[in-house]
Chains A and B, each alone.
Chain A
Amino acid sequence: MSDIKNSSENTIEIEGLTKKFKNLVAVDHLNLTVKKGSVFGFLGPNGAGKTTTLRLLMGLARSTSGTARILGRDIHNNMLSIRKRIGYLPDVPALYGWMTAKEYLTFVGELFNIEQSELDQRVGSLLEFADLRGVKTKIGGYSRGMKQRLGLVQSLVNQPEVLFLDEPTSALDPIGRKEVLDMIESLAEETTVFFSTHILSDVERVCDTVAILNKGKLMTESNLAELKSRYAQPIFLMEFDSEYSAFKKRLQGFSWVLAIEQEANKLKIRVDDAKFGQMELPRLLAQTGVLLRGFEIIEPTLEEIFVQVVEEK
């Protein structure tokens, strides 16, 4: 614990956090730092330990070892005071079906001792934000998307400094997903968001920093752009105007060429060094006399990086 520096720049600081069940290590010596104001993507396949980590951070489960600080406070001793300043949306938000959305948000606000007139105002704007204003139906009759939107705004009643979202879009249809992601994006300026998911396109859309978790272990943690450049094994897409088998044959002899994929009059070439490939490929092409129509460097997708990180480690 003493090693953790209580930096005001860091909103979440996790050190050696471990959760063991009988025969399973769900979270394995996790070290993580989330900077203030970032939208942090906590990535991992199903069963990686994301939800367990969030439950540990929320005080719903107890860690086997290790510690964590949220807003500079140790979660083991200060959970009640931390909860005043954070928001949490579980993967399946279980809300009281006998309440209306307005009643639920008011109840949550009362738990934070928000003054009545202020609370009325916040509840009104949150209902607007969730597109639930005027909905008089009880929560029990809501669609999954409506529940998820209400689940998200209930986590905002106290205007949290940190927002923990557990797979907020995983069970939603494309429209519901877009709505929830739009809401998260609009929050990003004021709130630090810790966002667990296995949907990589969601991360690419809203997150600036990413950690990849697999089998309870942290695989990597980085700025999204850095991660892309670090794990990127660039792919060059070359389109030809003439017969190119000689060029392909030539490439196969080099160790820096990792893979070649052929698609009609195109070649997808994966190399181990982007800059070297960028210089060498046109030179070799000129030597073989093949006519080039197009030359493009393809950015790796997060999916490709994710698979690479998980497989590599």
Chain B
Amino acid sequence: MNSLKFLKKEFREILKTYRIWVVPLVFILFGLMSPVATKLLPKILEGQMKTQNIAFKMPTPTAIESFSQYFKNLSQMGALAVILLSMGIVSEEKAKGTLQLILTKPVSRTSVIISKLIAQSVLISSSVLVGAICCYFYTLVLFNEGNAVLFSQSTALYVVYYLLLIAVTLFFSTLFANQVAAGGVSLIIFFGLTILPSISQFMAKYSPYAVTVIADNILKKEDVFSKSGWPLLVSVALIIILLVLSCQVFSRQEL
């Protein structure tokens, strides 16, 4: 199975280059920063107010707020990181010419695209998982509480949302020869996705970005995981459509 040989190369590339360190590190930072910021922010604000002789008392922060802060970071900076880390997955190899040489061997273009999507998805998902574990246990340490089940459910929703962002970026990375162009257009699509739920009730229920709202509500016990069914289904459908489109575009592309 030549498709597996190319997938093996993708994983070896991840292990042998900076990506194996940088990508998990980004999400570990998010995981560690959020509990600390949530814990310290009231004290910092109170301290500043005290110097200005203003009486100010912030409510004691909770583990839910720590998790909520973490997911807020994931929905913005995390999403940007996913796009920036994925924008070169096809276009960089096209620009360098490494793919052209490999594609003169018995390797199908479809297997190249599928391998790229799988490898990047595994890398990002496992990095999110490591970051989430850091966040959960650091929150436990700082706040002495934390609902592992609800936190896991919200994390799972973000993983699916990131897989969609990877598929979007993969498509534009396949379409364009330049990774900056691929990243730029993917960012525009990302901003579009974030706006969709505020457009109408329909979009709020079905659009992929709704999972981020549901993830936050799950933590606050305002929603249950099953509420995310439609946006998850739409996300998975979009991932499949984008994958098929990427394969189609790549198979017709001149290299």
Chain A: residues with CB nearer than 8 A to chain B?
55, 58-62, 80-81, 83-84, 86, 88, 90, 92-96, 98-99, 107-108, 110-113, 154, 158
Contact = CB atoms under 8 A, between A and B. Distances in A.
24 contacts: A58-B104, A60-B100, A60-B103, A60-B104, A60-B254, A61-B255, A80-B106, A81-B106, A83-B105, A83-B106, A84-B106, A90-B101, A94-B98, A94-B101, A96-B98, A98-B16, A99-B16, A107-B9, A110-B5, A110-B8, A111-B6, A111-B105, A112-B105, A113-B2
Given A60-B254, A60-B255, A111 B106 contact: yes
Contacts of A95: 98, 101
Contact of A111 (B2, B13, B17, B96): B2
Interface of B: 2, 5-6, 8-9, 13, 16-17, 96-98, 100-108, 254-255
Contacts of A59: 103-104
A80 B98 contact: no
Contacts of B6: 111
B89 to A, nearest CB: 14
B94 to A, nearest CB: 10
Contacts of A61: 254-255
A88 B101 contact: yes
Nearest to B93: A94
Nearest to B102: A111
A98 B9 contact: no
Given A88-B101, A108-B105, 7 more contacts: A61-B255, A94-B96, A94-B100, A96-B98, A98-B17, A111-B102, A112-B106
Contacts of B5: 107, 110-111
A94 B97 contact: yes
A158 B97 CA distance: 21
A158 B2 CA distance: 14
Nearest to B95: A94
A93 B102 CA distance: 11
